[in-house]
Structure formats: structure tokens, C-alpha cells
Amino acid sequence: MTTETAEGLLLVDKPAGPTSHDVVAVARRALGTRRVGHTGTLDPFATGLLILLAGRVTRLAEYSSGLTKQYEARLRLGTSTDSDDATGTVISRSDAWRELDPQRVRATLEAHVGDRLQQPPAFSAKKVGGRRSYEAARRGESVSLAPSPVRIDALVVTAVALPDVCFEITCSAGTYIRAVARDTGIALGVPAHLASLRRTAIGPFRVEEAIRLADVTRERARAALQPALAALPHLPDLDIEPRDARVLMQGGRVPLPSGTGPTGGLAAITSGHRLLAVPRKVLADG
């Protein structure tokens, strides 16, 4: 594979410390192209799955950025921080957690399941007045963010060893697990923050399939690249005739079944198991 044709999907298991942009930078060097992006950030302290797209496949990011996420998390009762996670400055302490009933803690956390409005953390990438919220928060400025609708499909408490509570959560894109920890503390009347976080899945993609960041070298990264079609496993595959494929790749129009396209259901348009396009977005060259 030449430098110019390094493209596809790459699953990376991010360690704690690097930012998501740092991971992208490593992949760019390994793949020899600047056309690398991710489909959803992980905070620096968090570990786990990042989906990277390289080359022309970066144009498919919008089709996977909204996939459901799964995490393994641990919240700690007794201290809250300005960032709602372990990297922030402690802003309150309390030993009231010692009086809590573990069953009440479990029930309070699991009550988050469902559709809800969530207050994003002040230290987030949400924009306020054209600036990232975390930029204002780091300057000590007061930040007020509007609640956002989120969906938590499942939340299972796996261990209660107060002051720590471990849980697994499946949620919509845009859900802040830090906020879940913070709000659990508020409901219990005890300060709380997110002590650790690991993303285990994004849609059908599992962290077990990913390569470690330390292994994202020129040889290993290229060997681990998956074809463009792998970025759309949640879309139906619409295979067209070679004649229509040539027309499509030359900028022409081809007939699609009723219900396919922007006003109906999306589909991955292929020919011979090679991804050509999604409706109104041609990926392959002629």
C-alpha cells in the first residue's frame, strides 16, 4: 500500500494520558497521511476504543459518530472536582458516604436509565459564546451550559465497595459519564466524581478488536486498516451492477430502490463488495 492510498478504518485502544488528537497524530505519522480523523473523543484520563478513519474514508465519519457507546466506569463518593473527574481540582469533601446503604447507592445509579436531560460538565468541548467551555472554565470563569437530551439504554452496577462504585453503561453519543457520576452524588447528597473510565464498544465495534496505541507503527497500522465498507456495518449493503458503478464513479446518477437515500433509509452502495458511495456522497474514484 502506498502512502497516497493509505485509507480505511483503524480501531485503536487508547491508554490513559494522550488526548484523542494525540492518537490521531500518531496514526497520521504511521500511515503517512494527514487525512486521519476520529469519530468521537475520549478524555485524556479515559482509556479504550477510538475509531479512526483514514484517507477518503474520513468522509464517512458522520455515519458512525452517532453510534451507541459502551463503557466500564468507576465513581468515587466523598469528593467532587471542578471537572467531575479525577483530573480536576477537588472542590468539596464529605465523609457522609460512610452512612450510605449500598442498595440505595445501587438503585440511585441505575435510576439513570432512560431518556433524560443532562447538564454537560463545565470542562467540556461544548461551545459558549464561540469558545470551548473548558477554555472558560480553566480561566476560572463561570460557565452555564444548557442541558442536552441523552439516552441511557442500560446501566448495571457491577461492584459496590464504598466509597467506590463500579458500573457498566450503554448510552447514546453525547452522554457524559462524568455527569452521571456527578448527578449520582447530588441525588445521594454526597459529593462524587468519575474516578476511571474505559470505552469498551462503539456500535458493533469492540475494544478487543483494537490495536494498542504503542502498536500503531507504519507496518502494524497499515496491516490493521480495515476497508472502507467496515466503517458502515450498521447500514444495509446495496450492491449495484458494474455498469451502474461506472456511471456513478464518473459523476452520473443511478436509480436506487424506493426508500433509499436522504429521505429514506441510508445504504452502503457497493459493487463487488467494494464501497462506492452512500446516497449523495461518492467515495470511490473512477
Question: What ranges do the domains of the chain cover?
Answer: 1-63+206-227, 69-202, 235-286
The set of cell numbers assigned to 173 is 453519543
Q: What is the pTM of this model?
A: 0.84
Q: What is the pLDDT of residues 213-268, one digit of tens each?
A: 999 999 999 999 998 888 887 777 766 666 666 666 656 666 665 545 443 456 66
**So what's the pLDDT on residue 46?**
96
pLDDT value of position 124: 63
Among 234, 232, 236, residue whose Cα is nearest residue 283? 232
Instruction: Please choose, from the candidates 70, 34, 67, 68, the residue with its C-alpha nearest in 3D space to the C-alpha of residue 53.
Output: 34
pLDDT at 135: 53
Residue 280 pLDDT = 60
pLDDT value at position 276? 63
Intrachain domains 1-63+206-227 and 69-202 with the same fold = yes
With cell 452502503, the residue in question is 268
pLDDT the model gives residue 264: 44
Backbone angles phi, psi at 257, to 5 degrees: -60, 150
- The chain-wide mean pLDDT, for the chain, equals 84
Quickly name the fold that domain 69-202 has. Pseudouridine synthase (3.30.2350)
pLDDT-flagged residues of the chain (< 50): 1-3, 259, 261-264, 286
3-class SS of residue 41: coil
pLDDT of residue 2: 42
CB 37 within 8 A of CB 61: yes
pLDDT of residue 139: 55
Domain 1-63+206-227, CATH homologous superfamily name and number? Pseudouridine synthase (3.30.2350.10)
Catalytic site positions: 43
Query: Which amino acid, residue 149?
Result: P
Burial-class residue 180 by CB neighbours within 10 Å (0-12, 13-18, 19+): buried
